[in-house]
């Protein structure tokens, strides 16, 4: 296995450059520093410097600080048209719980969701949607004998890849007796399974691998799979009663024994995921600094999974965004000030961003930068919608919250200059001062939050909300002079935006009921005309009273198929929570799940039409609670004139023109 490694640590900017330490002797503890944040550029470090840095971090996290120290917690087989799973960036495939090649449907199953006569295991159902009148299972791949917390799939030219994730929680036996509480090790395990599905009925898992760590995310570009993982390094021989001896034992430990492992489960072999040489530390790191965590980006050729290259960053990573040419790792920074805070408890002052380039030789570091604020209060799945890269330039929308001066939402434009990811423009600015978000006339402050962001070529759409939904249109054609060119106010808000060809924008979110109760709140699907950026218009909307859609926080739940230049079809799941009286005084909650089908007709009078919904009705012998599973992970697929609704491990099928008349579960 080829390993290439680089390392960074966000540390306080006041620290000096790397150097030696005279504190490491056998009868005295050195003064060690806990992790702080910095946007310092990276600098090459030796294997010895990396080893010292990692061990310092492990010792501090184990509880090795003195009493007065504080630990900071900072393949298509049919020519008929069909839809697939939604992805954010063209050319960058995302994993999902289902994959479809136009004929064969692959469902990432789990015995956590009821499955008839199944022991605990993690598997993939393979169904032929063209074999008969209804989808028929032709194979089941057992990808693991254990039940994993999550499984997601990739499908690329008959190669099926399963990405599995589970967590193991490591608590010290005597934590309550320690002077300084160590970090809890939420170490996870990632498994990868590779299967050739050219003949789906005969397919089987061919290779399996395991990576120590917790899955941050993954992406597939061509035949290259990128797995981003977080690793918490630990030391089992720490004795709080004799910290000096513990420290010396740790310093004498081979650093490779502390690093995460990459295991070939098919061959039964194991080796370090990363190497301890050729690493990078920030220019301001010293021999007294340390951090016990790593974030790795592992590149795997899915045609030859034994070909592995790993790039490593020693920093806590909150999330990532990936374009077709780069991956951006980001973490939040916090002020050290003790002044009164006028915001919520979660109040990061900014984000540190590391840009890594995707090259033929592997993933390489390019630049580091920072911006003020945070990604507005958004789910992990939707955080990537706040970013976009075009021609090597990064655009990101962040938010700052303050009850005295109001909220501040800002677009940043960043471009690499050497090892600095430099801000070259912002919006609002002195030439374009209009705030993003309505000003409350009673307070004179912006009190709206950002609910949705979407980029389309040189245009960005931003939705803010408090009582109405302002849709803002931003012109990004001039990298150095972004500007707001139009806005529209409608009731409710959109949490997800999706361009539909030229001049049309789909918005999905919530309609807010009126105070008199004449209009009930619920999921709202809206079609906007944005052909004239200065005057966006609402063409039509549809509301599901009392319902909500998982599309508001996971864009993968949208399925869309463009039949021709004038007709686009799409589906999204809708969930209702209902109550049923079980006795005179008791009620039980139950979910009603359905898949809504829509058509967009584009032309002189573009319009949105609701076709109806396919409902996941369950009959014996499959009990309702067993078949439901995770009710917010539903998916839909469009296959010519068929509508396929995936709910739990099962499929319901109907004709596109009559969604409610379905058969299932299959």
Residues 269-279: pLDDT tens digits?
A: 999 999 888 66
Q: What is the pLDDT of residues 619-632, one digit of tens each?
A: 544 444 444 444 56
What pLDDT was estimated at residue 402?
84
Q: Which of 57-66, 71-80, 205-214, 479-488 has the lowest mean pLDDT?
A: 71-80
For residue 444 the two structure tokens come to: 């004179």
List, in sequence order, every residue forming a beta bridge with 446; answer none if it has no partner.
439
What pLDDT was estimated at residue 503?
92
Within a domain: residue 270? Answer: yes
Q: How far apart are the first and last CA of the chain?
A: 42
Query: Measured between alpha carbons, how far is 647 from 630 in angstroms, rounded to an integer?
Result: 9
Q: What is the pLDDT of residues 407-431, one digit of tens each?
A: 899 999 999 999 999 999 999 999 9
Is the model's pLDDT at 183 over the cut of 70?
Answer: no
Query: Measured between alpha carbons, how far is 326 from 317 in angstroms, rounded to an integer?
Result: 16
Within a domain: residue 235? Answer: yes
For residue 305 the two structure tokens come to: 């999974």
Q: What is the pLDDT of residues 122-157, one digit of tens each?
A: 899 999 999 889 999 999 999 988 888 789 999 999
Model confidence band, residue 469 (pLDDT cutoffs 50, 70, 90)? low
Omega before 191 within 30 of 0, i.e. cis: no
Helix axes 47-61, 243-251, angle to 10 degrees: 150
Describe the strand order of the beta sheet including 214-221 as a list of residue ranges.
Answer: 214-221, 224-232, 293-301, 304-313
Are 432 and 482 in contact by the 8 Å Cβ rule? The answer is yes
Most confident of 64-78, 87-101, 302-316: 87-101
For residue 238 the two structure tokens come to: 């720490």
What pLDDT was estimated at residue 53?
84
Rg (CA), the chain: 26
More confident residue, 46 or 371: 371
Is the model's pLDDT at 219 over the cut of 60?
Answer: yes
Is the model's pLDDT at 539 over the cut of 90?
Answer: yes
Model confidence band, residue 43 (pLDDT cutoffs 50, 70, 90)? low
More confident residue, 649 or 459: 459
Is the model's pLDDT at 179 over the cut of 60?
Answer: no
What pLDDT was estimated at residue 628?
45
Within a domain: residue 625? Answer: no
Model confidence band, residue 35 (pLDDT cutoffs 50, 70, 90)? low
Model confidence band, residue 441 (pLDDT cutoffs 50, 70, 90)? confident
Q: Which of 18-22, 322-326, 478-482, 499-503 has the lowest mean pLDDT?
A: 18-22
Model confidence band, residue 78 (pLDDT cutoffs 50, 70, 90)? very low
Mean pLDDT of 604-622: 82
More confident residue, 507 or 439: 507
For residue 499 the two structure tokens come to: 């361009």
Query: Measured between alpha carbons, how far is 458 from 88 in angstroms, rounded to an integer?
Result: 16
For residue 651 the two structure tokens come to: 């499929």
**Residues in contact with 211: Cβ distance below 8 Å, sequence separation at least 6, in sequence order:** 189, 190, 191, 192, 227, 229, 260, 261, 262, 263, 273, 298
Is the model's pLDDT at 175 over the cut of 50?
Answer: no
More confident residue, 175 or 63: 63
Range(s) of the domain holding residue 257 = 1-74+178-183+214-316
Within a domain: residue 242? Answer: yes
**Residue 150 CB: number of other CB atoms within 10 A?**
18
Model confidence band, residue 38 (pLDDT cutoffs 50, 70, 90)? low
User: What percent of the chain clears pLDDT 70, i.e. is strictly above it?
Assistant: 81
Instruction: Determine how β-strand 98-100 pairs with β-strand 104-110.
Output: antiparallel
Within a domain: residue 430? Answer: no
What pLDDT was estimated at residue 113?
60
Query: Measured between alpha carbons, how far is 111 from 548 in angstroms, rounded to an integer?
Result: 26
Is the model's pLDDT at 220 over the cut of 80?
Answer: yes
Query: Measured between alpha carbons, how far is 32 from 39 in angstroms, rounded to an integer?
Result: 20
pTM flag (> 0.75) = yes
**Residue 65 CB: number of other CB atoms within 10 A?**
21
More confident residue, 302 or 622: 302
Query: Measured between alpha carbons, how far is 408 from 427 in angstroms, rounded to an integer?
Result: 11
**Residues in contact with 248: Cβ distance below 8 Å, sequence separation at least 6, in sequence order:** 26
Is the model's pLDDT at 8 over the cut of 60?
Answer: no
Within a domain: residue 522? Answer: no
For residue 18 the two structure tokens come to: 């790397």
Average confidence score pLDDT of the chain: 84
Q: What distances in angstroms separate CA 99 from CA 89, 106, 155, 156, 193, one per listed residue?
A: 17, 5, 6, 10, 15
Within a domain: residue 525? Answer: no
Is the model's pLDDT at 527 over the cut of 90?
Answer: yes
Omega before 428 within 30 of 0, i.e. cis: yes
DSSP letters spanning 422-489: EEEEEES-SSS---SSPBPTTTSSB--EEEEEEEETTEEEEEEESSEEEEEEEE-SSTT--EEEEEEE
Mean pLDDT of 94-111: 92
Instruction: Determine how β-strand 468-475 pairs with β-strand 393-400.
Output: unpaired
What pLDDT was estimated at residue 519?
65
What pLDDT was estimated at residue 168?
59
- Residue 599, helix vs strand vs coil: strand
Describe the strand order of the beta sheet including 387-390 as a list of residue ranges.
Answer: 319-322, 326-333, 350-359, 362-372, 420-427, 408-417, 393-400, 387-390
Mean pLDDT of 499-525: 83
List, in sequence order, every residue forming a beta bridge with 372; answer none if it has no partner.
350
Model confidence band, residue 602 (pLDDT cutoffs 50, 70, 90)? very high
- Give the start-end residues of each E strand in 222-322: 224-232, 261-264, 269-272, 279-282, 293-301, 304-313, 319-322
List, in sequence order, every residue forming a beta bridge with 544; answer none if it has no partner.
523
Closest by CA to 328, choosing from 389, 373, 264, 248, is 389
Mean pLDDT of 98-115: 84
Query: Measured between alpha carbons, how far is 532 from 392 in angstroms, rounded to an integer?
Result: 27
Look up residue 258 and give its DSSP letter: G
What pLDDT was estimated at residue 117?
55
Within a domain: residue 12? Answer: yes
Mean pLDDT of 612-619: 84
What pLDDT was estimated at residue 69?
40
Total number of domains constituting the chain: 1
What pLDDT was estimated at residue 398?
95
């Amino acid at each position: 296995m080829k390993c290439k490694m680089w390392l960074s640590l966000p540390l306080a900017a006041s620290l000096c450059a790397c150097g030696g330490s005279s504190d490491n002797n056998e009868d005295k503890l050195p003064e060690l520093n806990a992790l702080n944040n910095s946007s310092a550029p990276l600098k090459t470090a030796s294997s010895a410097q990396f080893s010292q840095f990692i061990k310092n971090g492990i010792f501090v996290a184990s509880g090795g600080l003195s009493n007065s120290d504080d630990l900071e917690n900072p393949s298509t087989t049919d020519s008929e048209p069909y839809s697939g799973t939604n992805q954010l960036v063209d050319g960058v495939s995302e994993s999902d719980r289902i994959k479809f090649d136009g004929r064969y449907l692959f469902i990432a199953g789990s015995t956590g969701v009821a499955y008839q006569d199944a022991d605990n295991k993690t598997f993939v159902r393979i169904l032929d949607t063209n074999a008969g009148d209804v989808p028929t299972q032709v194979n089941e791949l057992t990808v693991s004998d254990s039940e994993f917390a999550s499984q997601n799939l990739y499908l690329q030219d008959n190669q099926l890849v399963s990405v599995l994730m589970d967590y193991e929680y490591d608590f010290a036996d005597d934590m309550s007796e320690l002077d300084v509480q160590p970090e809890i090790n939420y170490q996870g395990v990632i498994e990868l399974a590779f299967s050739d599905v050219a003949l789906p009925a005969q397919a089987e898992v061919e290779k399996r691998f395991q990576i120590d760590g917790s899955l941050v995310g993954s992406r597939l570009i061509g035949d290259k799979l990128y797995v981003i993982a977080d690793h918490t390094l630990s030391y089992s021989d720490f004795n709080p009663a004799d910290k000096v001896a513990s420290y010396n034992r740790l310093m004498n430990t081979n650093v490779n024994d502390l690093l995460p492992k990459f295991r070939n489960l098919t061959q039964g072999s194991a080796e370090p995921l990363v190497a301890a040489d050729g690493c990078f530390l920030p220019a301001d790191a010293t021999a007294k600094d340390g951090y016990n965590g790593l974030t790795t980006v592992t590149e795997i050729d899915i045609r030859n999974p034994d070909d592995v290259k790993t790039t490593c960053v020693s920093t806590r990573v909150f999330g990532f965004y990936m374009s077709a040419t780069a991956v951006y790792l980001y973490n939040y920074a916090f002020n050290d000030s003790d002044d009164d805070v006028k915001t919520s408890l979660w109040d990061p002052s900014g984000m540190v961003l590391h840009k890594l380039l995707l090259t033929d030789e592997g993933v390489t570091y390019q630049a580091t930068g920072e911006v003020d604020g945070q990604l507005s209060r958004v789910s992990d799945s939707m955080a990537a919608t706040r970013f976009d890269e075009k021609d090597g330039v990064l655009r990101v929308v962040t938010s700052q919250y303050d009850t005295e001066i109001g909220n501040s939402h800002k677009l940043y434009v960043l471009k690499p200059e050497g090892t600095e990811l430099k801000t070259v423009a912002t919006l609002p600015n002195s030439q374009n001062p209009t705030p993003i978000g309505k000003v409350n006339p009673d307070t004179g402050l912006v009190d709206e939050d950002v609910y949705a962001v979407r980029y389309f070529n040189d245009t960005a759409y931003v939705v803010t909300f408090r009582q109405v939904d302002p849709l803002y249109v931003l012109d990004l054609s001039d990298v150095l002079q972004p500007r707001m060119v139009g806005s529209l106010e409608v009731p409710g808000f959109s949490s997800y935006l999706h361009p539909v060809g030229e001049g049309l924008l789909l918005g999905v979110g919530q309609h807010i009921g009126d105070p008199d109760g004449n209009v009930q709140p619920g999921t709202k699907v809206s079609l906007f005309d944005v052909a004239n950026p200065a005057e966006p218009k609402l063409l039509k909307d549809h509301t599901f009273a009392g319902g909500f859609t998982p599309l508001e926080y996971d864009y993968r739940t949208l399925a869309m198929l463009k039949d021709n230049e004038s007709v686009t079809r799409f589906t999204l799941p809708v969930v209702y929570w209902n109550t049923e009286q079980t006795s005179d005084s008791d009620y039980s909650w139950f979910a009603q799940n359905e898949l809504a089908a829509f058509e967009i007709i584009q032309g002189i009078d573009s319009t949105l039409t609701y076709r109806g919904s396919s409902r996941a009705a369950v009959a014996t012998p499959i009990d309702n609670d067993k078949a439901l599973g995770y009710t917010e992970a539903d998916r839909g697929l469009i296959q010519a004139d068929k509508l396929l609704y995936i709910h739990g491990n099962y499929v319901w099928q109907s004709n596109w023109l009559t969604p409610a008349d379905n058969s299932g579960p299959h």
